[in-house]
């Protein structure tokens, strides 16, 4: 079985040199930081052999956190996004059978973000875009991004909503517990909250063919679908949704297996959201490829379902 992996990170040291230093709040061990650092900046020496060893046909590459969302100046963000996307396009061109790209978008300037998305898809052949949560506290349900959602529909490409933007405020529940920050807990809650803003703001009612991808088996949300509906029925809302909240999952919102290498969790996701809505991802190099593949191989799912997760769904959604 071959695999297409959708959430695979890279960094560009040249880009980091252009940006202001950002604080690292995750207290990773020195060994883990060195492990990831070497692999993030690499494309050929370590990444391709790792893919070959585990049957990964294609990695869809995206700029690692916090990406251009860290830029405080809109002009710098526009330039940095173009710089990163051009470098990614060069990498994909060197290995067109093995890599695809998700665009980085300068959401500090919504109009420029639309232009960059169009350039990346139409000229560079990218398969969508990936953004790292909010941009300095502004979320994608802001009316300023309505043109971006329209462009995603017109171009027929997905937007991958990834965690990792710099915190905009101080979340009291995490005070004194730095272990909770990042992928261990807070990023899932923050990004899942962002996705719920999009649903409740009616983004997918206004843009019914838009596709949002959530990693990490949907950032907690698919397993709360029944509760979302039961609680929504009890609410007074200013503008009612056209569908129940759960119904946007599996249609407008798809998920990947990134960072959750657990066969039982993959099985539960399929039961919850449907086999056509789950796609494979590793979260390379932050997670191990062997474990991500094993989660699919060991899942108690029919061979045809595993094929959908491993690569067929990605081929359909990304038109590969």
| pTM metric for this prediction | 0.97
Tens of pLDDT, residue by residue over 217-237, are 999 999 999 999 999 999 999
Q: DSSP readout, 208-227?
A: TT--EEESHHHHTGGGGHHH
Cβ pair 126, 103 in contact under 8 A:
yes
**pLDDT value of position 30:** 82
Over residues 53-76, the mean pLDDT reads: 95
Mean pLDDT of 22-39: 82
Give the domain range for residue 79.
3-318
For 212, other C-beta atoms within 10 Å of its C-beta total 24
The enclosing H or E element of 315 equals: helix 313-318
Which residues does 256 contact at the CB level (< 8 Å), separation at least 6?
Answer: 6, 7, 213, 214, 215, 216, 217, 278, 279, 280, 281
Q: Residues 99-119: pLDDT tens digits?
A: 999 999 999 999 999 999 999
**176 vs 194: CA distance, rounded Å:** 24
Q: What is the pLDDT of residue 174?
A: 85
Cross-strand partners of 5: 59
Of 48, 51, 49, which is closest to residue 2 (Cα–Cα)?
51
> Which uninterrupted H or E stretch holds 48?
helix 47-54
168 band by pLDDT with thresholds 50, 70 and 90: confident
Give dist(CA 7, CA 88) in Å, integer.
Answer: 14
Cα 11 to Cα 43, 66, 68, 184, 289, distances in angstroms: 10, 10, 11, 21, 18
Q: Residue 58 pairs with which residues in a beta bridge?
A: 4
- For position 169, what pLDDT does the model report? 79
pLDDT at 165: 74
- At 61 the pLDDT is 98
**pLDDT tens digits along 270-320:** 999 999 999 999 999 999 999 999 999 999 999 999 999 999 999 999 999
Q: Which residues are catalytic?
A: 283
The answer to whether the CB of 25 falls within 8 A of the CB of 64 is no
User: Looking at residue 259, what is its pLDDT?
Assistant: 95
Residue 75's pLDDT band, with cuts at 50, 70 and 90, is: very high
State the average pLDDT over residues 89-103: 98
pLDDT at 187 over 90: no
Does residue 41 surpass a pLDDT of 80?
Answer: yes
| Strand-pair category, 129-132 with 253-256 | unpaired
Q: In whole angstroms, what is the distance from residue 306 CA to residue 313 CA?
A: 10
Report pLDDT for 26. Answer: 75
- To the nearest whole number, what is the mean pLDDT of the chain? 95
pLDDT score of 171: 85
Judge whether residue 46 has pLDDT over 80: yes
Write b or e for each residue in 95-119: b if 16 or more Cβ atoms lie within 10 A of its Cβ, otherwise e: beebbbbbbbbbbbbbebbbbbbeb
Residue 245 maps to which CATH number? Answer: 3.20.20.140
Separation between Cα atoms, residue 285 and residue 143, nearest integer Å: 35
Asked if 179 contacts 172 with a C-beta cutoff of 8 angstroms, the reply is no
> Who contacts 185 (Cβ-Cβ below 8 Å, separation ≥6)?
none
pLDDT of residue 131: 97
- If one compares 28 and 133, the residue with the highest pLDDT of the two is 133
**What 3-state class would DSSP assign to 104?**
coil
Domain count, the chain: 1
Contact between 277 and 27 under an 8 Å Cβ cutoff? The reply is no
Question: Percent of the chain, pLDDT > 70?
Answer: 99
Helix (H) / strand (E) containing 4 = strand 3-10
* Better-scored residue on pLDDT, 205 or 32: 205
Cis peptide before 66 (omega within 30 of 0): yes
pLDDT of residue 29: 85
């Amino acid at each position: 079985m071959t695999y297409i992996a959708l959430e695979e990170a890279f960094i560009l040291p040249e880009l980091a040199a252009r940006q202001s230093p950002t604080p690292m709040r995750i207290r990773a061990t020195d060994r883990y930081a060195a492990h990831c650092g070497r692999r993030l900046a690499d494309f050929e020496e370590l990444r391709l052999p790792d893919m070959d060893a585990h049957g990964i046909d294609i990695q869809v590459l995206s700029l690692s956190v916090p990406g251009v969302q860290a830029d405080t100046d809109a002009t710098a963000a526009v330039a940095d996004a173009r710089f990163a996307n051009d470098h990614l396009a060069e990498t994909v061109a060197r290995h067109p059978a093995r890599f695809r790209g998700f665009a980085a978008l300068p959401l500090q300037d919504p109009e420029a973000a639309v232009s960059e998305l169009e350039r990346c898809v139409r000229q560079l052949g990218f398969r969508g875009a990936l953004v790292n949560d909010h941009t300095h506290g502004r979320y994608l349900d802001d009316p300023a991004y309505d043109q971006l959602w329209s462009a995603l529909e017109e171009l027929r490409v997905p937007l991958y909503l990834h965690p990792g933007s710099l915190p905009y405020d101080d979340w009291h529940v995490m005070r004194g517990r730095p272990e909770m920050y990042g992928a261990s807990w807070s990023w899932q809650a923050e990004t899942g909250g962002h996705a719920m803003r999009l649903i409740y703001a009616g983004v997918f009612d206004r843009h019914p063919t838009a596709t949002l991808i959530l990693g990490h088996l949907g950032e907690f949300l698919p397993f709360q679908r029944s509760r979302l509906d039961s609680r929504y029925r009890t609410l007074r809302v200013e503008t009612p949704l056209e569908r129940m909240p759960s119904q946007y999952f599996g249609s407008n919102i798809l998920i990947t297996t990134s960072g959750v290498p657990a066969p039982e969790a993959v099985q539960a996701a399929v039961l919850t959201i449907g086999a056509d809505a789950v796609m494979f991802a590793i979260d390379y190099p932050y997670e191990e490829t062997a474990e991500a593949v094993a989660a699919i191989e060991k899942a108690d799912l029919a061979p045809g379902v595993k094929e959908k997760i491993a690569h067929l769904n990605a081929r359909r959604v990304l038109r590969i």
